[in-house]
Structure 1
Amino acid sequence: MLIRTEAPADILAVDQLLKSAFETDAEANLVMKLRENGHRTLSLVASSDEGDVVGYVLFSPVTINGEDYNWQGLAPLAVKQEYRRQGIAKRLIEEAFASLLELGYPACVVLGDPAYYGRLGFEASEQHGMRCQWDVPEGVFQVKELRSGEFEGQSGMIEYCSEFSHL
């Protein structure tokens, strides 16, 4: 298994992966729009030993109270059905965290299963006085410091790129 930065040659394989991993084409369409509009900060693929794309994660900018602090939103994350439960998603995210921190992105947010993302160090945003732009159940919107102390003095509304509003 190889984790690497997404290349232009991966676009079709990533599109097919996203369409197969989710119930609708919304995530695949979102990724295309984020790419087209220059809102993709980092995207990684996991490829099998044969070179097939079997996992994908994308990060895009978010703001807090309308201000850009270089924070990133994780979405989407997908792994091919037959490759799930092998730690691929975890490896994608951990590699992405290291890259994001190295590139100067100090925090990440995610909208997802608290039990799953909690194992990766995410915490409920409410614990830090932060909330998502959408009405979601408590604990589902989560935050993670990549650089220690990043959340000090921060609170308020976190908003994703406008492309997310069309989901």
Structure 2
Amino acid sequence: MLIRTEIGVDAAGIDSLLRRCFATSAEAELVQQLREDGLLTLGVVATDDEGQVMGYAAFSPVTLGGEDLNWVGLAPLAVDESVRRQGWGKQMLFEGLDTLSDFSYNAVVVLGDPAWFGRYGFEPAARYQLHCRWPGTEATFQVRKIADDPFAGQGGLVEYAAPFNRTA
């Protein structure tokens, strides 16, 4: 397995992976739209020994109350079924967090399984008076700091990039 930042030639493999991993094409279309709109802050791929994309994590900008605080949203995160439960998702997550830290990003938000993300430092966003636009996501909307104290004095609506509104 090789974990690295995505490059242009990975786009077809990423698209194929996302179409295999999710019940609809919404995530594949979302990533394509983020890429086309220049809203893909970071893409991390995991490839097998033959170079096939077997995992992917996308990070895109989010705002808080319309303000850019150098936060990103993680979505989607996908690992091919044949290599799940082998640590690929965790390794892509930490590669992404390291890269984002190097570029002075402050925090990551995610809608995902609290049991899985909680193991890697994510906390309920509601703890910091943060929420997203989708009802019923209080338990799954989570945050993780990259920089020191990015949530101090913050609170309100975290908004994902416009392409996310097309899939909801």
Report the counterpart of residue 44 of structure 2 in structure 1: 44
> Which consecutive residues of structure 2, in runs of 5 or more, have no partner in the other structure?
none
Structure 1 residues 7-58: Cα deviation after superposition (integer angstroms, max 9, x where no partner):
1111101000000000000000000000000000000100112211110000
Query: Is contact 2:33-2:163 (8 Å) kept?
Result: yes
Shift of 1:150: 1.1
Shift of 1:69: 0.6
| 1:9 aligned onto 2:9 | yes
> Which consecutive residues of structure 1, in runs of 5 or more, have no partner in the other structure?
none
Report the counterpart of residue 86 of structure 1 in structure 2: 86
Extract structure 1 runs of 4+ deviating beyond 2 A: none
| Distance in structure 2 (CA, Å) of the matches to 1:166 and 1:69 | 23
CA RMSD of aligned residues (A): 0.7
Q: Secondary structure at the match of 2:70?
A: coil
Shift of 1:157: 0.5
Report the counterpart of residue 114 of structure 2 in structure 1: 114
Query: Is contact 2:74-2:108 (8 Å) kept?
Result: yes
Report the counterpart of residue 61 of structure 1 in structure 2: 61
Structure 1 residues 41-94: Cα deviation after superposition (integer angstroms, max 9, x where no partner):
000100112211110000000000110011000000001110100000000000
Q: Secondary structure at the match of 1:20?
A: helix
Letter in 1 for 2:93: I
| Distance in structure 1 (CA, Å) of the matches to 2:17 and 2:23 | 12
Give % identity: 49
| Distance in structure 2 (CA, Å) of the matches to 1:139 and 1:147 | 23
| Distance in structure 2 (CA, Å) of the matches to 1:143 and 1:136 | 16
| 1:128 aligned onto 2:128 | yes
Letter in 1 for 2:79: V
Q: TM-score, normalised by structure 2?
A: 0.97
Report the counterpart of residue 30 of structure 2 in structure 1: 30
| Distance in structure 2 (CA, Å) of the matches to 1:10 and 1:149 | 35
